[in-house]
Amino acid sequence: MLATLRSKINCEVLALFFNHPKQSFYLHQIAREIQEDPSNLHKKMNFLVKKGILLDYFQGKERFFTLNQKYKFLKECQKIILPQNQSQGNALVLIKDFFAQLKTEKKISAVFIFNNSLKNLEQQKEIELLIKGNLKNEDLKKQVYLLEKRLAKKINSILLSERNFNLRKQKNDPLLLNALKNSFPLG
């Protein structure tokens, strides 16, 4: 089992399947999700099938992969792969913790998650955030990318500097006021 977890690609593939345990994926779909070259991924998928962690089947000409729910070390793998023993139900906690760290580093001052993202958060494919802080957009993209990998979800974020946020709020900017009205503060 540990040999399986040495590879970064294997871990990313397994995190995807652990976050979507009942879903089947085809090779190019997995490659897109974890942003990996399909030719590199092909060997890793064969290895995971051979080890019994994943199952494969063909539908027409397309080969699909799914998590083997009967794999004897499934729970142990999940505990190792998913951060902080992440399981279904705590994506919001993971998001809060992630941005709390950025707050302690004084990079951001507030994060708002839109209400439409809060409804059935675990089933959402995308999460929308409004972020207030003096972080460079490129740095935010890197941070959000890391969070996307941990959650296996797409994150759309709007970054407003402290100054811009306060100016818009003072001027009663309808877009900002609507965003604040339809969001939930995470800190």
pLDDT, tens digit (0-9, with 9 covering 90-100), for 14-61: 888 988 888 999 999 998 888 888 888 999 999 999 999 999 999 999
Cβ atoms of 156 and 129 within 8 Å: the answer is yes
Domain ranges of the chain: 2-81, 91-185
Q: How far apart are the C-alpha atoms of 86 and 103, rounded to whole Å?
A: 22
Cβ atoms of 116 and 128 within 8 Å: the answer is yes
Cβ atoms of 157 and 144 within 8 Å: the answer is yes
| Token code pair at residue 63 | 């080969």
DSSP summary character for residue 67 = E
For residue 102, what are the β-bridge partners?
none
Who contacts 56 (Cβ-Cβ below 8 Å, separation ≥6)? 45, 49, 63, 64, 65, 66
Inter-CA distances, 172 with 30, 60, 137, 158, 179, Å: 43, 56, 24, 18, 12
Residue 64: alpha-carbon gap to chain centroid: 22
Query: Model confidence over 142-177: pLDDT tens digits?
Result: 888 878 877 778 888 888 998 999 999 999 998 888
Cβ atoms of 33 and 16 within 8 Å: the answer is yes
Domain range 91-185, its CATH number among 3.30.200.20, 3.40.50.300, 3.40.50.970, 3.30.460.10: 3.30.460.10
Top-level CATH class of 2-81? mainly alpha
Query: Model confidence over 81-117: pLDDT tens digits?
Result: 765 334 434 677 777 777 777 777 777 888 888 766 6
Residue 177: alpha-carbon gap to chain centroid: 27
Q: What pLDDT is stored for residue 95 in this prediction?
A: 78
| Token code pair at residue 183 | 């969001």
